A and B are shown apart, each in its own frame.
Chain A
Amino acid sequence: MANYNKIHLLMVDDEVKFLETITKRLKLKFFEITSATNGVDAIEAARKGRFDVAVIDLQMPGIDGAQVLEILKKNHKYLEVLILSGHATVESAVDCTKLGAFKILEKPCKFDKLVDAIKEAYERRLKKKFEHDQLRIKKIEALALGQSPLGILKELAQMDEAEK
């Protein structure tokens, strides 16, 4: 079973009061949280930190939630993103799902439902990372059969570059 206490969460919402309150509540659940009130700060925080799950509002000034989702999914392969918005429509839900959102939740959302969704997203992240690592181990094993140590390192570097 996953250790949920270690979840690193990025919360993004332009409604400061909502962001502060939900952050306090989630911290009581032992999640480690960084918050941002706009898209630019969120993208910068994700670049600097390592997050498992991001919870993003859709309607924000400047870069909106859908754009933030698109950028985060492009730059952070294993990050799972939840959309939490008071403005979600069927169209925006479809668009966000296409962009890779894990789940769309509507504000106001029951706290337990949000916590469960964060945990599910974290589990999916772990699963994807695990599957990727398994694949990587298999590739290394295959390489090790016919390569010198230097050759293996070169191949690994190429694999890392290709993943980027």
Chain B
Amino acid sequence: MNDTINFINIEGLKFFGKVNASISHELKNILAIISETSGLLNDLTDLAKQGKDLKLSMFENCSASIAEDIQRGFTTIKQMNRFAHSVDIPIKEINLFETLELTINLSGFLSFASKVQINNSDQETKSILTCPFLLQNLIYQILIFTYESVGPDGDIHIRIDSKNNDGAHLIFSSPAQLTLKGFPTQKIQKTVDVLGVELNINESPHELDIWIPYVSNKIIVLAKELQNDSYTGNDKQD
């Protein structure tokens, strides 16, 4: 196993663990709300049985809240499933907007996540041949860096610029201005190198720009390396 594949595997496992931990936390929160709301419904029923005059809307609100949180749970599980399947095929064509949206949702489970808006994005952006799991890992790491930069009350704006024929720009900015001290970390730089993307910090306006080619030579090399590696291959989807 060469260094690059070793890096993908080790960092990938850490990333997978981190995302799963945050999803389990989110699911626990959802279950805790459902549990308490159903408990409240029981408490109210007991009071009604004892003759207390209660408004019907109190019962209806509980029931609506339970339905809402079950839906929130389904959405979370759906995202978890999409994320889990992103390791099925190591190199494949992806839609950048969908990958970005999923990664933002996954990072949103972190307690220190800021608000993220996707602005002016072309959802029909051309397909990108990449390692989907590693690209998610890179976007996730950058999101964490920007969350820590602007804080939980801050806003992060991201836009996809795909006017260029060779690739797309993923541009991060914030009305509060991003503090990019210590950026990129060694891990982010290594991930950038393996993916064959480019990182630029624009000064005016202050933005963080990831240039992602539609097809990069590094990805083609990586695809061959992964094909030759006995431990990686395509799994069946469940």
A interface residues with partner B (beta carbon < 8 Å): 14-15, 17-18, 21-22, 24-25, 28, 59-62, 64, 86-87, 107-109, 111
Contact = CB atoms under 8 A, between A and B. Distances in A.
Contacts of A17: 33, 65, 69
A24 B61 CA distance: 13
29 contacts: A14-B111, A15-B29, A15-B33, A17-B69, A18-B29, A18-B32, A18-B33, A18-B36, A21-B33, A21-B65, A25-B39, A25-B40, A25-B43, A28-B43, A28-B47, A59-B25, A59-B111, A60-B111, A61-B113, A62-B112, A86-B24, A86-B25, A87-B21, A87-B25, A107-B29, A108-B28, A108-B36, A111-B35, A111-B36
B111 A86 contact: no
A21 B29 contact: no
B39 A111 contact: yes
Contacts of B24: 86
Contacts of A15: 29, 32-33
A14 B113 CA distance: 12
Given A17-B33, A87-B25, A111-B36, 7 more contacts: A17-B69, A21-B37, A25-B36, A28-B47, A107-B28, A107-B29, A108-B31
Looking at chain B's contact residues, the main secondary structure is helix
Given A61-B111, A61-B152, A62-B152, A86 B32 contact: yes
Residue of B29, B39, B69 with most partner-chain A CB within 10 A:
B29
